[in-house]
């Protein structure tokens, strides 16, 4: 990856910009402003979700951007309370109404249904996925995927799918590398995306990361984002500061060496939420 215009290739041939701009916890007009500023800073990949309650504002920014719609990559996500094909399709229609866009580039199941919250969790995941497959076949969504799925969630889903998920958006950062989940994705040609690649900012205080940042004359955040890219993981950054947006995108003019990567790969648990999908209560 050499710049923000570089892309990963998804299983169906769709290209996805290699660095995304996330909008979680950015609300109301601040979301519109942040997305417009991110686009001006060169970002072409914008990530939102129904539960973020900012799809309307994100859509406004997309429509008013100086960049044509077909040069932007927009993701949203299906929330957990939609458990049937019909509910999932309706939720998608509501997302599109809020965004006011003609199509979506990527739509994800936000969290897997799991046994501690759904006695028929395997059926629920299949129902949701069937809805996404149909919407994809209808040309409403260019690519479809999941979020927060671990290997055992895939194992109960993949035997019944027509389309293997193209993306899995999971929490990944130094100190929480999710080696097993990332390896599973690679094996099945599923692109892993990293939410919270900076571990909610807490990993930036790790002495190992501080040392590597000094070595390369880069920030700790830039080291974490570069680590993701070199591991074949697409990071999603978030900031309302244009200076921070620019800094987060300045990760293409250096490379972590093998010692750096080994150190970061082996970093002990630190930062982030480290959420276990199987024990969540939402």
Structure tokens, 9: 């290739």
The distance of Cα 56 from the centroid of its chain, to the nearest Å, equals 19
What distance in Å separates the CA atoms of residue 134 and residue 277, rounded to the nearest whole number? 26
DSSP the chain: --STT-EEE-TTS-EEESSEEE-TT--HHHHHHHHHHHHHTT--EEE--GGGT-HHHHHHHHHHSSS-GGG-EEEEEE-TT--SHHHHHHHHHHHHHHHT-S-EEEEEESS---TTT-TTHHHHHHHHHHHHHHHHHTTSEEEEEEES--HHHHHHHGGG-SS--SEEEEE-BTTB--HHHHHHHHHTT-EEEEESTTGGGGGGG-HHHHHHHHHHT--HHHHHHHHHHHTT-EEEE--S-HHHHHHHH--SS----HHHHHHHHTPPS-SS----GGG---
Query: Which one is catalytic: 43, 52, 107, 184?
Result: 52
State yes or no: is 103 an active-site residue.
no
The distance of Cα 216 from the centroid of its chain, to the nearest Å, equals 27
Q: Within 10 Å of residue 17's Cβ, how many Cβ atoms?
A: 21
- Give the active site residues: 52
């Amino acid at each position: 990856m050499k710049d923000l215009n570089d892309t990963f290739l998804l299983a169906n041939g769709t290209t996805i910009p290699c660095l995304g701009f996330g909008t979680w916890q950015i609300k109301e007009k601040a979301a519109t402003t942040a997305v417009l500023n991110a686009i001006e800073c060169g970002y072409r990949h914008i990530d939102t979700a129904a539960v973020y309650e900012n799809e309307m504002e994100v859509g406004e920014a997309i429509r008013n951007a100086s960049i044509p719609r077909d040069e932007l990559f927009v993701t949203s996500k299906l929330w957990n309370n939609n458990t049937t094909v019909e509910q999932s399709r309706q939720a998608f229609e509501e997302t599109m109404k809020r965004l006011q866009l003609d199509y979506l580039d990527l739509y994800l199941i936000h969290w897997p249904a799991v046994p501690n919250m759904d006695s028929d969790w395997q059926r629920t995941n299949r129902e949701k996925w069937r809805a996404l497959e149909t919407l994809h076949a209808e040309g409403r969504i260019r690519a479809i995927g999941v979020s927060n799925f671990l290997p055992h969630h895939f194992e109960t889903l993949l035997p019944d799918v027509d389309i293997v998920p193209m993306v899995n958006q999971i929490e990944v950062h130094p100190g929480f590398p999710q080696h097993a989940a990332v390896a599973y994705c690679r094996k099945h040609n599923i692109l892993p995306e990293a939410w919270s690649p900076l571990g909610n900012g807490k990993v930036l205080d790790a002495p190992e990361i501080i040392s590597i940042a000094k070595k390369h004359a880069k920030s700790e955040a830039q080291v974490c984002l570069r680590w993701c890219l070199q591991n074949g993981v697409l990071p999603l950054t978030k900031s309302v500061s244009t200076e921070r947006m620019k800094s987060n995108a300045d990760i293409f003019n250096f490379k972590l060496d093998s010692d750096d990567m080994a150190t970061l790969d082996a970093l002990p648990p630190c930062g982030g939420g480290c959420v276990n999908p199987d024990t969540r209560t939402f």
